[in-house]
Amino acid sequence: MNPTKLHKSLSVTMSGDVRPDEQLAVILKYKPSFVARGEVGALSDVAPSQSFHLVSAQATDATPSMIAALTDDPAVEMIWPDLPVHTWTDARVPLIGVPRVVDAGFGGQGVRIGIVDTGIDRDHPDFEGRIAAWRDLIDENADAAHDPNGHGTHVAGIAAGSGAAGGGRYKGVAPQAMLVIARALDAEGGGRTSTVMAGIEWAIDNGAQVVNISLGGPPYPADGTDALSVLCNAAVEAGIVVCVAAGNMGPAGHTIGAPSAARRVITVGASESTAGDPADRVAGFSSRGPTGDGSAKPELVFPGVGIVSARAAGTGLGRPVDAHYTALRGTSQATPFATGAVALLLSANPRLKPDEIRERLVRGAERLPGVDVLAQGAGRGNAYNAFVNAQGRPLGPSAGAGSGAGSGGESGGASGGPAVPTPPGSPADSTARSGCLPASLGAFRGR
């Protein structure tokens, strides 16, 4: 047995109380050149449940003795545990803002947003005509998109809901974007790493330009070497923006899990404000850095408390507002604000690269006073700041690749950004409810 091929999380499991006949869920990273030449040993006996192409890997179940044999196979590079993942959500009093930037002509048109979650309510009016593709990885026999949990529908509504069921009151960030829906979590909001990996690849294969990952899991803190983080980094390297929820394990530090520890993704924490105090702060539940390898995370925060969005029919998740909407809190809710903002940037300039978009969002964030950088990152996201350069020129089609956060094209424009949720009773509250606040934007649930 070659222990250097076992990810440290799997090593811990293997050294514990494991029965000789116990089937362990694992993900095998292999060397394609060895496979092509037929230089394989135990790997040839593997019956994969999932296969991946962003990283050369397969998911399977194996006994401890089989895993030991696989470590001696020259074609096997790394063996990861296929860890559990789950949504990052809890409920709270509704606080919601609606983006003004859409009124300037950037509504996400021409952009496909991938949502890898619990599914979507295909009959919700807020998504009419905009579900471009869907796949159910939990029930491959499903004949239509559905969401028995409600989390995925809520997340999709924040990123791209039209607000039609509420007369525009609860419009999402990019209401003209198309949706690519991969159901990778079950009715309880849980699932396996390998299923989420398959969902991400499928969404990208079906045209997603930005992928929302409002889920996560152990280890805590993660160091970015787990299977899901590796695949997310590979997606970014392939030109796809990936926005990931930081997690709801705060307020302690060192609580960033997987895949939010991935180096190249945009990791999103949650901010909040309370009645009588309009100043934003980082929500207590929002996970903090550093990661297991000492990196600073999250990149930034977006509002994640009391967010009103689409409610899947027949579900009771959160605090229902009416038959079509419910309020939730969590970094799950903060993340699709970032995803929607990415879609707006891409609708203005589809040539922007993932690192350029990340840089724009980070440089445009507004720092929250008195808050540690390992809690807030660069600060609270601001859509308008992400659109304009240092001279105030708006992003447009002529601001192509290489523009970075400090440049912008001469065509196009934007006025203001998605609104921060405003406390009930504050002077701006009535404006927030009608979706006209200016300026700035703005769940791990234990199994």
Q: Which of 66, 82, 98 is the last residue of a domain?
A: 82
Give the dihedral of Cα atoms 132, 136, 141, 143; nearest 10 deg: -30
Task: Give how far Cα 1 sits from Cα of 74, 75, 152, 203, Å.
Answer: 12, 14, 42, 37
Q: What is the pLDDT of residues 215-236, one digit of tens each?
A: 999 999 999 999 999 999 999 9
- 130 and 48 co-located in one domain: no
- Cα separations (Å) of 77 from 53, 56, 151, 196? 15, 10, 35, 21
Q: Within a domain: residue 441?
A: no
Indicate whether 321 and 302 sit together in one domain. yes
DSSP 8-state code for residue 25 = E
Shared domain for 131 and 148, answered yes or no, is yes
> Residue 383: what pLDDT?
79
Q: What's the pLDDT score for residue 394?
A: 61
| 130 falls within a domain | yes
Question: What pLDDT is recorded for position 96?
Answer: 23
Task: List the strands of the sheet with 319-320, edge to edge.
Answer: 307-310, 325-328, 319-320
E-strand ranges in 246-295 read 266-274, 277-282
Look at residue 385 in the predicted model and tell me its pLDDT.
81
DSSP at 226? S
Where is the domain boundary, 61, 82, 103?
Answer: 82
**219 falls within a domain:** yes
Question: Which residues constitute the domain of residue 20?
Answer: 3-82
Does residue 270 sit in the same domain as residue 335?
Answer: yes
Count CB atoms within 10 A of the CB of residue 434. 11
Q: Are residues 336 and 414 in the same domain?
A: yes
Residue 117 among the catalytic residues: yes
If we measure between CA atoms, which residue out of 9, 19, 5, 8 comes closest to residue 67? 5
Of residues 444, 437, 446, 341, the one with CA closest to residue 97:
437
Domain count, the chain: 2
* Beta carbons of 34 and 76 less than 8 angstroms apart: no
Residues 19 and 75 in one domain: yes
> Of residues 332, 347, 407, 440, which has the active-site annotation?
332
Helix %, strand %, coil % for the chain, to 5? 25, 20, 50
Q: Give the per-residue pLDDT at 280.
A: 81
Can you point out the beta strands (E) in 196-250? 210-213, 215-216, 241-245
Averaged pLDDT, groups of 10, the chain, 447 residues long: 94 90 96 92 93 97 95 96 84 30 75 98 98 97 96 97 93 94 97 98 98 96 97 98 97 97 98 71 96 97 93 96 96 96 91 95 91 96 75 52 36 30 30 24 29
Q: Has residue 95 been placed in a domain?
A: yes
Sheet-wide strand order for 215-216: 190-192, 84-87, 215-216
- The residue out of 51, 82, 113 marking a domain boundary is 82
The DSSP result for 141-184, as a single string, is: T-SS---SSSHHHHHHHHHH---GGGTTTT--S-TT-EEEEEE-
Catalytic residue among 117, 136, 226, 280: 117
Regarding whether 344 and 211 lie in a shared domain, the answer is yes
pLDDT at 279: 65
Q: Is residue 287 among the annotated active site residues?
A: no
Q: Are residues 139 and 243 in the same domain?
A: yes
For residue 29, give the CATH number of its domain: 3.30.70.80
**Structure tokens that stand for 362 in this block:** 């980070």
Based on the residue annotation, tell me whether 151 is a catalytic residue of this protein: yes
Is the residue at 373 inside a domain?
A: yes
The model's pTM: 0.85
pLDDT of residue 103: 62
Specify whether 107 is located in the same domain as 73. no
Contacts of 447 (CB under 8 A, 6+ apart): 84, 86, 188, 189, 190
Which H or E element spans position 34?
A: helix 32-36
Domain co-membership, 227 together with 277: yes
**CATH number of the domain within which 235 lies:** 3.40.50.200
Q: Could you tell me which of 410, 319, 418 has the C-alpha nearest to residue 100?
A: 418
DSSP 329: B
Q: What one-character-per-residue DSSP string does 177-208 give? A: -EEEEEE-S-TTSEEEHHHHHHHHHHHHHTT-
Q: Is residue 206 part of a domain?
A: yes
| 126 and 32 part of one domain | no
Is the domain of 230 the same as that of 142?
A: yes
Kindly name the residue from 7, 124, 146, 151 that is annotated as catalytic. 151
User: Per the domain annotation, does 445 fall within a domain?
Assistant: no
226 near 233, Cβ under 8 Å? no
Does 44 reside within a domain?
Answer: yes
Helix crossing, 193-205 with 227-237: angle to 10°?
Answer: 10
Q: Which residues of 301-325 are buried (b: 16+ CB within 10 A; e: fewer)?
A: bbbbbbbbbbbbeebebbbbbeebb
- DSSP state, residue 17: S
Q: What is the pLDDT of residue 400?
A: 42
